[in-house]
Amino acid sequence: MMNCTKDLIVTRKPIYNAIVNYIYNWFGGFFFVYGSDGTRKTFLYTQLFLNLDLKKKYYYFASSRIASLFFPCGRIAHSNFKIILKLDKDSCCDVKKGSPLAKLLNKSSL
């Protein structure tokens, strides 16, 4: 798969640039990309994956099994991070200090 950021449609290029800028400059933040069918969200995600994977430091998680199918080595956030789907005031993720998951979270940028 080749990197085709020049092919991102005009409405997605600023989103791509903002996410990459935040990551490379360590600003941190959350990103939620919403759009109707056919707006090339999957293409945007793939380009981000290809660009950021070059550093071998970034990890990508989808919020559903369907979405994970679009990523190379797609992963699902709630199963990887042990996120509880039914939340209450006492809910928390069970991540042990020094565990492989804790190390993954420490290395992650997005």
User: pLDDT tens digit string along 46-103?
Assistant: 777 777 766 665 555 555 555 655 555 555 566 666 666 677 788 777 778 898 888 8
Report the 10 Å Cβ neighbour count for 19: 19
pLDDT digits (tens, 9 = 90+) for 79-94: 666 666 677 788 777 7
Segments making up each domain of the chain, as ranges:
5-107
Q: What is the pTM of this model?
A: 0.50
In DSSP notation, 13-80 reads HHHHHHHHHHHHTT----------TTS-HHHHHHHHHHHHHTTT-----BSSHHHHTTSTT--BHHHH
101 three-class SS: helix
